[in-house]
Structure 1
Amino acid sequence: MNKKYLLGIDVGTYESKGVLCDADGKILNIQTSPHLVKMPKPGWAEHDPMGDWWADFCSITKGLLKNTGINPRNIAAIGCSAISTALVPVDKNCNPLRNAILYGIDIRSVPQIKKLNSIIGEKRIKEICGNPLTVDSSGPKILWIKQNEPEIYEKAAHFTMTQGFLVARLTGEYILDKYSASGAGPMYNRGMGTWDDSLTAYITEKERLPRIVDSTEIVGFVTADAAKETGLAEGTPVVGGSTDASAEAVSVGVVESGDFMIMYGSTVYMIKVTNEPQQNSNVWNATYVFPELSSLVGGMATTGSLTRWVRDNFAKELVEKEQSCGSNAYTALFAEIENIDPGSDGVIVLPYFSGERLPINDPGAKGIIFGLNLTHTRGHIFKAVLEGVGYGIDQCLELFRKAGDPINQITAVGGGTKSLGWMQIISDITGCVQSIPETTVGAAYGDAIFAGLGAGLIKSRKDIKEWIKERYVTVPDVRKYEIYRGYKERYAQIYSSTKDIMHSY
């Protein structure tokens, strides 16, 4: 009997990743492919669906198969994920008609949000969809295309969202999982688990929207054309998949009510698994990837990408040294902050460099570096950026606490967890213990788990917990936690005092 394998592929903001593993969760090979975010105008953020997403997918699958020597016919199922609420209009042959409009770092749909709120009513939207409209919502993005690119809108046979584009290229089936659909306001009726006829009519025809599915449901099979492009076997089952954040949560065992994850990537994303929806919550509600569970979710707009901004603009010589000698620029920056006290000697950064999602839901917010004097150094700015993200996370956690049970321990994942110093700063600010798993392959591993559940090779989500081992725990320093209290208050005051100025230009 031939051994069976599972394939998972994720498209992130700056990188795509693929994982090939066996039915026991053992990882056989990992492949990555970088890509860039295109920002053609201020407030816009886009990817090239074919040049970034599909090209990455094809090169990764071929690389995985080549490196392992596995017969593609022995792959039992495939799972995909992608950055949440990314929107791609396609023609009848699944050819993209424009670049993908990305998640909440793209704020072009603010006028459409205001218009929909005024026509439909914010209360009605939240009652039906479970969430208010934000720049993450898919409906306003479609409406933006309809109003600003009518020729593209008219040609669009389908509006694909998140991983739906990849699944459509693989199988010819247009789908969206229930977790991702929770971000498709105001079109998605969360209580019914279907598109809402009355609200969808404000945006587009329901026939252009994908079929709603479960993340672990087999939704189609690899076509002959896709097999030629990817090296996969024709007829291989493909499951529904989900967004990168939910797939990453599953990859580290966040699968039961009460589990809480923070994903430290280009942005920060948080998921708390619950038994029931929290209708009066100020954070987003979403049916979880396991439909018998619910979740509270939310994200900040600019976090890891802000540390990259500091590195690239304030530490160019370190980047050049990294390129020539291999020394890590971030390691050098962290060395510069070792002797800087909590609070960065009065420097406070508001990380609103792409507006902000949670905790303030203000796409017009602006980034601020506050409190500089001539004694401050590059290190002060870098540490203040790390702390500013921590202050924002602390405000987000307070919203999660108000919506449900206390949060005492967090599973931390993503590229940011490579810096234990940053994780310690976050714990000192929030007062929360953070557990960092031994293996944090990321969302692609969660996609492989979705595939395993769909193919029946993984019997229960509880089995996933047994695969997770703890690598490191950050415990709050009580003394530093008390010091940070005052800085958290100042952080909040700076935003409230400058909000009107931010919106005046």
Structure 2
Amino acid sequence: MTPVSGEEVTIGIDIGTTAVKAVAADADGRVVARTRIPHQLRVPAPDRLEHDADEAWRRGPLAALNQLARPDALAVAVSAMVPSLTAVDADGRPISPGLLYGDGRGRVPGTPADGPFPVGEAAEFLRWTAAHAPDAAGYWPAPAVANYALAGQAVVDFPTAFTAAPLFDATGWNAEVCGQYGATAGQLPRVEAPGTAAGQVGDAVVAVGAIDALCEQLVSGADNAGDVLVLCGTTLIVWVTVPEAQQVPGLWTIPTATGMSQIGGASNAGGLFLGWVDRVLAPGNADAVDPRRVPVWSPYLRGERTPFHDPDRRGMLDGLELGHDAAALRRAAFEASGFVVRQLIELSGAGVTRIVAAGGGTRVLPWMQAIADATGRPVQVSGVAEGAALGAAFLARMAVGKESAITDAARWATVERVVEPRAAWVEPVGERYRRFLELASLR
């Protein structure tokens, strides 16, 4: 796209589980250019989940920036999933696998994953990586690799660093703890606040970004009490906004930039599960199914995060009959994801006013319909599927003085469409939801 004179364009780059997504946005949050660079998600063993870190974290962001072709951009910022870790050489090039959230090499023996992020997972990543690449120049998560590739600066944001506890504490990288896991504090990246300038790529400032889910939240508009934000990516994430922090067993509670809190968490019943279903089933129209003839999936192919925190939980398919076809099984898979959304909402105990769906999965219409049917509520679908990249683009504006408050990102929120629950599906879906809960209790 040819640059328009007078546009204050910034770029957001999101390193996702299956692709790098990037957008260029103007001052009003309108996307004026976008690109997607796919990369391989490697599962070398049932308990492994990794990237070729050079492909996904270094070359992917560089290729995305090049394909956007916006030399007029004022600034660029990177968001990424957490936790992640790789070893790098003196030139910042990854030399070990890029370990991702949920990989068994991050499991802490005998410790339940009951915090907002599995406490100690990043530290165990460091233990494994340092042992397998002891001569590495550094041990960096995905955004540090990308920021170094762009600007020669190995830097991450404070939220990303905090997910690396106990390696990181309120004062910085804890040298003693890092040593216990095989590294020095100096081998870990610099930490700065989101939206601050970190370096330069061409004529553009490289800004410090943030965790992908945080960037999605910034531009979702789901900031009021009772708002439910459903992030439909490789991981399914559900956040219910509540006025005050509260603790519910199995759920996570985090503060928001507006002074409220969110309760909910991440589930493996998102794109990771649905993508597997898509690969193993024949084509079928999930919307052309008899509402009363759908089986029930328990969607935990890689264990489950919230609310069970059980890496050994596995999937099952219940109630199969000869009349079921690929379309019925696909619909069941989308319903299972919707059932997880409903389950997390109900466990939160919070009053719900509306549901906002964001992320790349919002372009999968049967998924959105299943969430509406499963929850019995309208689903407002975000106008920009690349929400994490868009949120990063807003943080890039902060680094060049175009924005002063992170909460102002809410003005970039747009709704593309509203998906209504269907009356004919309410009763049979409700019956299947009860069976879904029964299956979950069998573990």
TM-score normalised to the size of structure 2? 0.87
Over 3 Å counting, the alpha-carbon distance change for 1:97 and 1:276 in structure 2 is farther
Which amino acid is the alignment partner of residue 466 of structure 1?
A: R
Shift of 1:96: 1.2
Give the direction of change, closer, same or farther, for the CA distance of 1:361–1:253 in structure 2 (3 Å limit).
same
Tell me the SS of whatever aligns to 1:429. Answer: helix
Q: Which residue of 1 aligns with 2:296?
A: 348
The answer as to whether partners of 2:227 and 2:352 remain within 8 angstroms in 1 is no
Tell me how far 1:447 sits from its aligned partner: 1.0
Alignment correspondent of 1:392: 340
Alignment partner, residue 86 of structure 1 = 84
Aligned-partner Cα distance in 1 for 2:435–2:247:
31
1:301-338, Cα deviation, whole Å (9 max, x unpaired)? 242233332332222xx5xxxxxxxxxxxxxx22x542
Deviation, 1:254, is 4.0
Task: Check the 8 A contact 1:160/1:209 in 2, yes or no.
Answer: yes
Structure 1 residues 384-423: aligned runs within 5 Å: 384-399=332-347, 401-402=348-349, 405-423=350-368
Identity of aligned residues (%): 26
- Is 2:138 aligned against 1:158? yes
CA-to-partner distance for each residue in 1:445-471, whole Å, 9 max, x for gaps?
Answer: 111111012222134445433333322
Is the aligned partner of 1:54 residue 2:58? yes
Q: Specify which of 374, 380, 385 is matched with residue 328 of structure 2.
A: 380
Q: Pick from 384, 399, 417: which aligns with 1:472? A: 417
- Cα pair distance change 1:193/1:377, threshold 3 Å: farther
Aligned equivalents of 1:138, 1:151: Cα separation in 2: 15
Structure 2 counterpart of 1:396, which letter?
A: L
CA distance in 1, matches of 2:403, 2:159: 21
Contact 1:350 1:388 in 2 (8 A): yes
Give the whole-Å Cα distance in 2 for the aligned partners of 1:279 and 1:200.
30
Q: Residue 196 of structure 2 aligns to which amino acid in structure 1?
A: E
User: Does residue 1:183 correspond to 2:176, yes or no?
Assistant: no
The yes-or-no answer on 1:34 pairing with 2:38 is yes
Aligned twin of 2:27: 23
Size of the alignment, in residue pairs?
Answer: 438
Aligned-partner SS, 2:280: helix
Partner residue of 1:107 out of 82, 86, 104:
104
**Partner SS, residue 310 of structure 1:** helix
Shift in alpha-carbon separation, 1:29–1:3, aligned structure 2, 3 A: closer
RMSD, aligned α-carbons: 3.0
Question: Secondary structure of 2:288's partner?
Answer: coil
Contact residue 11 and residue 53 of structure 1 kept, 8 A: yes
Question: Letter of the aligned partner of 2:57 in structure 1?
Answer: W
Change (3 A) 1:454 1:47: same
Is residue 210 from structure 1 mapped to residue 210 from structure 2 by the alignment?
no
Partner of 1:325: none
CA contact (8 A) 1:359 1:392 kept: no
Amino acid of the residue matched to residue 127 of structure 2? Answer: L
SS of residue in 2 equivalent to 1:75 = coil
Q: Give the one of 263, 268, 283 matched to 2:251.
A: 283
Give the match for residue 133 of structure 1: 118
Q: Equivalent residue of 1:114, what SS?
A: coil
Question: Using the alignment, how far apart are the partners of 1:281 and 1:492 within structure 2?
Answer: 16
User: Which position in structure 1 is the counterpart of 2:281?
Assistant: 314
Q: Provide the rounded CA distance (Å) in 2 between the counterparts of 1:75 and 1:276.
A: 39
Q: How far does residue 339 in structure 1 lie from its aligned partner after superposition?
A: 3.3
Going from structure 1 to structure 2, the CA distance change for 1:139 and 1:248 (only over 3 Å counts) comes to: same
- Output the CA distance in 2 between the equivalents of 1:160 and 1:108: 16
- What is the Cα deviation at residue 485 of structure 1? 3.3
SS at match of 1:252: coil
SS of residue in 1 equivalent to 2:23? strand
- Counterpart amino acid of 1:246? L
The separation in 2 between residues aligned to 1:430 and 1:424, in whole angstroms, is 10
Tell whether 2:268 aligns with 1:301: yes
Shift of 1:272: 4.3
How big is the shift at 1:61? 1.5
Distance 1:293 1:493, change over 3 A: closer
Please say if 1:251 is aligned against 2:246. Answer: no
Structure 1 residue 215: deviation in Å?
1.5
Q: Which amino acid aligns with 1:6?
A: T
Whether the 8 Å contact between 1:302 and 1:354 is mirrored in structure 2 is no
Contact 1:182 1:287 in 2 (8 A): no
Q: Match of 2:385?
A: 440
d(CA) in 2 for partners of 1:442, 1:411: 12
Distance 1:200 1:481 in 2: 52
> What residue is the counterpart of 1:324 in the other structure?
none
CA distance in 2, matches of 1:77, 1:274: 33
Q: Judging changes above 3 Å, is the alpha-carbon distance between structure 1 residues 158 and 274 closer, same or farther for their aligned structure 2 residues? A: farther
Per-residue CA deviation, residues 170-197 of structure 1 (Å, 9 max, x unaligned), is 23333332322342233344xx374456
What's the TM-score once normalised by structure 1's chain length? 0.77
Distance 1:5 1:484 in 2: 45
- Report how far residue 144 of structure 1 moved: 3.0
Counterpart AA for 2:381: I
Secondary structure of the 1:485 match is helix
TM-fit CA distance, 1:385: 0.9
Could you tell me whether the CA contact under 8 Å between 1:435 and 1:470 is conserved in 2? yes
Task: Decide whether the 8 Å contact of 1:255 with 1:462 is kept in 2.
Answer: no
Unaligned runs of 5+ in 2: none
Distance 1:131 1:11 in 2: 21
Among 330, 351, 357, the alignment partner of 2:305 is 357
| Deviation (angstroms), 1:477 | 4.6
**In structure 1, C-alpha distance between the alignment counterparts of 2:400 and 2:373, rounded to whole Å:** 43
Task: Show the counterpart of 2:126.
Answer: 142
Evaluate the alpha carbon distance shift between residue 91 and residue 245 of structure 1 in structure 2; reply closer, same or farther with a 3 A threshold.
same
Q: CA deviation at 1:295?
A: 4.3
Contact 1:408–1:433 (Cα < 8 Å) also in 2: no
Choose between structure 1 and 2: higher helix proportion: 1
CA deviations 1:61-109 (Å, max 9, x no partner) are 12222xxxx5x3x4322110122212122234322120201122x2333
The residue type paired with residue 210 of structure 2 is: S
